[in-house]
Amino acid sequence: MDTYAPDIEKILIPAEAIQAKLAEIGERITQDYTGRSLLLVGVLKGAFVVMADLARYIRLPLEFDFMAVSSYGSATKTSGVVRILKDLDHDLENLDVLLVEDIVDSGLTLKYLLKNLAARKPASLEVAALLRKEGIQKVPLDLRYVGFDIPNEFVVGYGLDYDERYRTLPHVATLKPEAYNTD
């Protein structure tokens, strides 16, 4: 964490606030999913941090799975078409699937994934997202659990990267301009 400290401009969400929110969401999930077959599905790579912490606030037996997706270049940002690089190991039939995301930006990745996963006939399909950028979703999305609505700024930390760095920061933060484009 100290390695990255000089690059941080502003801490948007402190580590303690993230943990408190995840504890609250974990408790809601515990209430909502008692007696059901819960599968957490993480979208790599960013979601691995929130997935690890959130799962430990859920007081239920649960299973994990992960997907890796990639956009088809710049066209994706408008078309919403994503390529599946790593698919799930689980067959979703009869499972209560909770898709875990670190951030919902345009919402196009999520829209694609929800359609794709719904076609596999899970018992239920919901979303938990730590962050949602305010007012920029291009598609209407029904998110069951949302941690924080944040302004439309580029953020790093808690799984989110710039050029694959900063994922290990315990908070969500913005970067100083000089932190960009360094080798």
> What's the token pair of residue 46?
């960013």
Q: Helix count (H) and strand count (E) of the chain?
A: 4, 8
Size, binding site for ligand PRP by CB under 6 A: 16
The nearer residue to ligand PRP, 58 or 113, going by C-beta atoms, is 113
Q: Which residues pair with 41 in a beta bridge?
A: 65, 99
> What's the token pair of residue 34?
């008692």
Q: Identify whether 105 is a catalytic site residue.
A: yes
From 28-36, 107-115, 120-128, 143-151, give the range in contact with ligand PRP by CB under 6 A. Answer: 107-115
The nearer residue to ligand PRP, 44 or 146, going by C-beta atoms, is 44
The side-by-side arrangement of strands in the sheet containing 145-150 is 82-86, 62-71, 38-44, 96-104, 124-133, 145-150
The torsion angle over the Cα atoms of residues 181, 168, 57 and 28, rounded to 10 degrees, is: -10
| DSSP category for residue 80 | -
Largest CA distance in the chain: 51
| Binding-site member from 161, 162, 165, 170 for ligand PRP (CB under 6 A) | 161
Q: Which of 129, 163, 162, 170 is nearest to 146 (CA)?
A: 129
| Binding-site member from 30, 64, 88, 106 for ligand PRP (CB under 6 A) | 106
Convert residues 37-66 into a mask of x (bound to ligand PRP by CB under 6 A) and - (unbound): ------xxxxx-------------------
The nearer residue to ligand PRP, 93 or 164, going by C-beta atoms, is 164
State the catalytic residue, choosing from 7, 105, 163, 183.
105
| Binding-site member from 55, 67, 104, 175 for ligand PRP (CB under 6 A) | 104
The nearer residue to ligand PRP, 38 or 108, going by C-beta atoms, is 108
Residues in the site for ligand PRP, rule: CB under 6 A?
Answer: 43-47, 101-110, 161
Residues identified as active-site? 105
